[in-house]
Amino acid sequence: MSEFTSSIKDLARGVIGWRAYRSIAMLLKAPKEAISVRRWKRTARASAASGRLNELRDAHLGRRAFVIGNGPSINQMDVRLLADEVTIGSNGIFLAFDRMQCVPTYYTIEDRLVAEDRFKEADAIEGTQRIYPHDLEKTLGVGKALYVPFRRSYFGFPKFGHDLGRVAYWGGTVTVFNLQVAFHLGCDPVYLVGCDHNYVVKTDVQRQGARFTSMSDDPNHFDPSYFGKGYRWHDPNVDRMELAYRVCRREFESAGRAIFNATAGGRLEVFPRVDYEELFETQGVA
């Protein structure tokens, strides 16, 4: 994408707002993507993945799970307590493995830039079940992962996928994808940790449209090297994320399930808050 094109897109977003801009973009992208998803579903790889995903549906029915965000608040938590829990981690969570003394039960990447920049580290993780969007196959490889039909461009944002074998939806943050994974697995309740929901864009960041390249340490995650110098990330739109989070809460509650925010601090108030340490006191752990 040229700098001129990026500037035009930035101007359009600023003038008409991101909602209107996304609606216009969907007119161009959604029909083509729908065809691409249908074509992928007819492949042998998709058929094999669908069978495995069916096996995983309700695999943890009624069991609590923890969706691990990667915010700075992770540094205030005893993440070792998660060792015997069902956990879903993502992106650069591997930078916390020494501190956790375990790996997440499930590992995800949803963002194309993260996939391109971190595929080697993701491939090296042992002892986790990888679940990725289907359009990251070429980047992340097919040997160790389950791929799900994934819609990035669609009308009626935000949507929520109940069955990963059919479809999962982009929601502006990998956490929304992870909540769809947790729903498919039958988890209840689901606790969010490390979801600080607060982002700082440093002045030295190089911008190209909605894509940023860091030129120094990352202040938005538990490790300064997470999106450190040279790593790329997308502009975090918290308003858009909150729309998707509200849909996640609605879909869980409609199914008689619950999502709680067990993050230490942060600014995410869509979900009821609980104290992380207290979740383990009744088990004699904390």
Mean pLDDT of 80-104: 97
- Asked if the model's pLDDT at residue 237 lies above 70, the reply is yes
Strand order in the sheet with 145-148: 145-148, 129-133, 106-108, 86-90, 65-68, 190-193, 259-261
Mean pLDDT of 248-254: 98
Q: How far apart are CA 69 and CA 28, in angstroms?
A: 32
Q: How far apart are CA 110 and CA 244, in angstroms?
A: 15
pLDDT of the residue at 5: 54
Mean pLDDT of 225-244: 96
SS3 state at 94: helix
pLDDT of the residue at 19: 65
Sign of CA dihedral 234, 238, 244, 250: positive
pLDDT of the residue at 98: 96
- In degrees and rounded to multiples of 5, residue 256 shows phi and psi of 80, 20
Quote the pTM value. 0.92
- What is the distance, to the nearest Å, from the Cα of residue 194 to the centroid of all Cα atoms in its chain? 12
Percentage of residues in the chain with pLDDT exceeding 70?
91
pLDDT of the residue at 122: 97
pLDDT of the residue at 12: 56
**pLDDT level of residue 8 (50, 70, 90 thresholds):** low
- Asked if the model's pLDDT at residue 55 lies above 70, the reply is yes
**pLDDT level of residue 52 (50, 70, 90 thresholds):** very high
Mean pLDDT, the chain, rounded, equals 92
pLDDT of the residue at 170: 97
3-state helix, strand, coil in the chain (%, to 5): 45, 15, 40
Other CB atoms within 10 Å distance of the CB of residue 98 = 7
Would you say 121 and 141 are in contact if contact means Cβ atoms under 8 Å apart? no
Mean pLDDT of 163-170: 98
**pLDDT level of residue 77 (50, 70, 90 thresholds):** very high
pLDDT of the residue at 285: 47
**pLDDT level of residue 282 (50, 70, 90 thresholds):** low
Q: How far apart are CA 72 and CA 278, in angstroms?
A: 20
pLDDT of the residue at 118: 97
pLDDT in tens, 111-160: 999 999 999 999 999 999 999 999 999 999 988 899 999 999 999 999 99
pLDDT of the residue at 286: 46
- Asked if the model's pLDDT at residue 25 lies above 90, the reply is no
What are 26-29's contacts with CB under 8 Å, separation 24+?
26/153, 26/154, 26/155, 26/157, 29/152, 29/153
SS3 state at 174: helix
pLDDT of the residue at 102: 97
> What amino acid occupies position 97?
F
Q: Of the ranges 20-24, 102-106, 230-234, 282-286, which one carries the lowest mean pLDDT score?
A: 282-286
What one-character DSSP code corresponds to residue 204? Answer: T
Name the β-bridge partners of 273. Answer: 261
What one-character DSSP code corresponds to residue 140? Answer: H
